[in-house]
Amino acid sequence: MSNEILRMSRLYMPTLRDVPADADIASHQLLLRAAMIRKTASGIYTFLPLGFRVLRKIEQIVREEMDATGALEIMMPALQPADLWHESGRWDDYGPELMRLTDRHAHDFCLGPTHEELITSLVKGELRSYKQLPVTLYQIQVKFRDEIRPRFGLLRSREFIMKDAYSFHDSQESLQETYDAMSVAYGNICDRCALAWRPVEADSGQIGGKVTTEFMALADSGEAELVYCECGYSANTEAGACVAAPTVYAETNIEATGQTREGGELLKIATPGLHTIDELAEFLGIPASSTVKALSGKDADGVVHVLFVPGDHELNEIKALGAVAGFELLTDDEMRDYGLHKGSMGPVGLPAGTVVVADSSLQAVSEWVVGANEEGFHYVGATPGRDFTVDAWADLCIVKPGDGCPECGRALVGARGIEVSQVFQLGMKYSESMGATYLDKNGKEQPFIMGCYGVGVTRTLSAVVEQHHDEAGIQWPLAIAPAHICVIPLTVGDDEVYPKAEEIATSLARLGFEVVIDDRDERAGVKFSDADLIGWPLQIVVGKRGLAEGKVEVKRRITGERYELSVDVLPEIMSMATARMKSMGKGGITVFEGLFS
Ligand code: ATP
Ligand code: MG
């Protein structure tokens, strides 16, 4: 970035005092208010000069980290022919999120939501020998997804910037190596953007393949739910293995039912009008975790399966699909036709041929409180092996805070996050369907083993603001701030304050800082509030009173700390700061250690 001084009077930065009505989270509001972005249409934004400077810095960080892995930058078209998508099968699979269009010759195209097809066709036939592998190519480019609910500004938009990389390999080991290197680079990108983040195990969703990690910027406004543990384990709740610790049935208030129970026998109790787990648990005076919840579905062949999970957990349908191929929940009508009673399903007395699958955590529960397959009745003390058979145990639950960590057993902690990036091991999904092969050592054609890796560049920008702001505005981390230092002369029309401010700005720019000077003829209050709103990391206030004592005031945006510094030593301190020298006076050290930390 050039070191010309930016002049606020010449900057196009229409900041807003009021919170825009349709922006409901901090980053969205502040990016609009601080004149970083403007909305063009739902989920479509323009970057204004300051926002664009930030964007370019994030792109540059991403580029440096990619280049450091040996990946090579290219640029593919956003406009992609439908033929490629027919080859991979995704023209039909992708659904309405894919922006489709037709050219004047009636040929179908789409605006790329991601570029697996294009890159696979690019290397097909030209990347021929195992000797050339591995190869990783990347681009930083605009992507299009017709999101059903664009929201939160840049976090979920319809046009956004992604860095996408694709790697080609001749072995799983080689893929793993690149995948690991990319994961390190992704962590570095988050660190350099000053994000608090966690890598989490995830489901691979639309793209295909199995091994994948998402990089989550922690934020309460994030759409993703995750759990993590002190031991370092973390997971998206959709994908995380659940080691739910159900409380083993101990005592129930059977008296409420007017019945008694001697030993461990199976007892049918009347539970009229109780349909939910909570109602049942309350009636029996036990926690929901001591009950067992049942869900019915059918597999790909139409065979009915009843799945059991601890009463305080929800079935994870993605896991259910993993346990039962083609699993689909039964509709109410299907349940009735098959002879199942919604609200009182259980493993004892199911119609013949029904397959019973239970969450692995229930192996520890010897007496189940569960439906009796009879409207208005439940069983207490239903015992696997004695009263019914479990055909398969599987990991079935949506994990939740408090569940045991699958690695170490400690209780998992819950958090919310913004998925800023993701790495995938694609395997041969695209190379096989699109016939992209290389010649191995023996001269035999083999499909490439592939990986793909995406960073949401614009989403990262928003996530940074989500984590770094206060009531007054954005607190840009130094590495990606639109400029490092804002020099604020309190008056502009005189021949003392303003020239001094210019002089300071010039000397700082010469030292390599990106400097902006607020040369507008505005009240001090306006300048201060704009400076805080925009979020320059360092403000240097030059006023008449201070100058009379040869001083300026320096403010760190992130902490709000203010220091009086002598004008004479300022350039010197700054110059020492650039050299990262730390043997200076107190104020200087704190300011600049912070600045360069
Ligand atoms: P999400 O689950 O949030 O819809 P995704 O998993 O579909 O995202 P990927 O296909 O993994 O997204 O794309 C890589 C990255 O691109 C994401 O990690 C995210 O940072 C970014 N991204 C995806 N969709 C959007 C969007 N609608 N707006 C902004 N960034 C996005
Ligand atoms: Mg993703």
pTM value is 0.86
Render the burial of 390-413: b for 16+ CB within 10 Å, e for the rest: beebbbbbbbbeebbbbeeeeebe
Percentage of residues in the chain having pLDDT higher than 90:
75
Displacement of CA 235 from its chain's centroid (Å) = 11
The mean pLDDT value for 104-118 works out to: 98
Q: What is the pLDDT of residue 597?
A: 44
Among protein residues, the one whose CA lies closest to atom 20 of ligand 1: 456
Measured from the Cα of 162, ligand 1's closest atom is 16
Measured from the Cα of 223, ligand 1's closest atom is 3
Which are the contacts of 117, defined by CB distance < 8 A and separation ≥ 6?
80, 84, 85, 87, 88, 90, 430, 434
Residue 237 DSSP SS3: coil
Rounded-to-integer distance, Cα 52 and Cα 139, Å: 18
More confident residue, 232 or 585: 232
Residue 93 Cα to ligand 2 midpoint, Å, equals: 17
First to last CA, the chain: 20
235 to 238, 327, 452, 455: CA distances (angstroms): 8, 23, 20, 19
Measured from the Cα of 158, ligand 1's closest atom is 27
Q: Kind and range of the H or E element at 263?
A: none
What residues form DSSP beta bridges with 487? 517, 540
Strands, E assignment, 262-400: 267-270, 292-298, 304-310, 328-329, 355-359, 368-371, 377-382, 392-394
Residue 419 Cα to ligand 2 midpoint, Å, equals: 7
Looking up tokens 């990391």, which residue turns up?
537
Residue 188 Cα to ligand 2 midpoint, Å, equals: 18
Residue 329 Cα to ligand 1 midpoint, Å, equals: 28
Average pLDDT of the chain, as a whole number: 91
| 536-558 confidence digits (pLDDT tens) | 999 999 999 999 999 999 999 99
Residue 453 Cα to ligand 2 midpoint, Å, equals: 9
Q: What is the pLDDT of residue 596?
A: 46
Phi, psi for residue 157 in degrees, rounded to 5: -115, 175
Q: Kind and range of the H or E element at 597?
A: none
Residue 15 Cα to ligand 1 midpoint, Å, equals: 28
Q: What is the pLDDT of residue 342?
A: 87
Residue 138 Cα to ligand 2 midpoint, Å, equals: 17
Q: Which of 458, 460, 459, 464 has the alpha carbon at shortest distance from 478?
A: 464
Whether residue 594 has pLDDT greater than 60: no
Rounded-to-integer distance, Cα 354 and Cα 390, Å: 11
Q: Within 6 Å (CB) of ligand 1, which residues are found?
A: 114, 145, 147, 156-157, 160, 162, 205, 419-422, 454, 456, 458-459
| 171-222 confidence digits (pLDDT tens) | 999 999 999 999 999 999 999 999 999 999 775 444 444 689 999 999 999 9
Mutation pick for ligand 1 pocket among 28, 97, 115, 160 (CB with most ligand atoms within 8 Å): 160
Rounded-to-integer distance, Cα 246 and Cα 365, Å: 8
Task: Grade residue 119 by pLDDT with cuts at 50, 70 and 90.
Answer: very high
Q: What is the pLDDT of residue 325?
A: 92
Measured from the Cα of 420, ligand 1's closest atom is 20
The mean pLDDT value for 568-590 works out to: 59
Residue 160 Cα to ligand 1 midpoint, Å, equals: 9
Among protein residues, the one whose CA lies closest to atom 29 of ligand 1: 156
Cβ of 247: how many Cβ atoms within 10 Å? 15
* Least confidently predicted of 136-150, 158-172, 398-412: 398-412
Among protein residues, the one whose CA lies closest to atom 24 of ligand 1: 156
Whether residue 533 has pLDDT greater than 70: yes
Mutation pick for ligand 1 pocket among 422, 458, 466 (CB with most ligand atoms within 8 Å): 422
Q: What is the pLDDT of residue 235?
A: 87
Rounded-to-integer distance, Cα 168 and Cα 447, Å: 10
Whether residue 513 has pLDDT greater than 90: no
* Least confidently predicted of 9-18, 271-280, 290-299, 583-592: 583-592
Structure tokens that stand for 16 in this block? 């807003």
Q: What is the pLDDT of residue 251?
A: 65
More confident residue, 543 or 1: 543
The mean pLDDT value for 291-298 works out to: 96
What residues form DSSP beta bridges with 217? 197, 418
Mutation pick for ligand 1 pocket among 154, 318, 457, 459 (CB with most ligand atoms within 8 Å): 459
Q: What is the pLDDT of residue 22?
A: 87
Whether residue 66 has pLDDT greater than 60: yes
Question: Could you say which DSSP state residue 153 is in?
Answer: G
Contact (CB, 8 A) for 192 and 460: no
Looking up tokens 């041929």, which residue turns up?
353
Residue 214 Cα to ligand 2 midpoint, Å, equals: 7
* Least confidently predicted of 53-57, 165-169, 457-461, 560-564: 560-564
Displacement of CA 86 from its chain's centroid (Å) = 29
Walk across the sheet containing 292-298 and list its strands. 328-329, 292-298, 304-310, 355-359, 392-394
Rounded-to-integer distance, Cα 464 and Cα 474, Å: 9
Among protein residues, the one whose CA lies closest to atom 16 of ligand 1: 456
Ligand nearest to the CA of 113: 1
Question: Could you say which DSSP state residue 126 is in?
Answer: T
42 to 96, 207, 322: CA distances (angstroms): 16, 25, 36
Task: Give helix then strand counts, H and E, for the chain.
Answer: 16, 32
Measured from the Cα of 147, ligand 1's closest atom is 27
Count the residues in the chain.
Answer: 597
Residue 299 CB burial class (10 angstroms; 0-12, 13-18, ≥19): middle
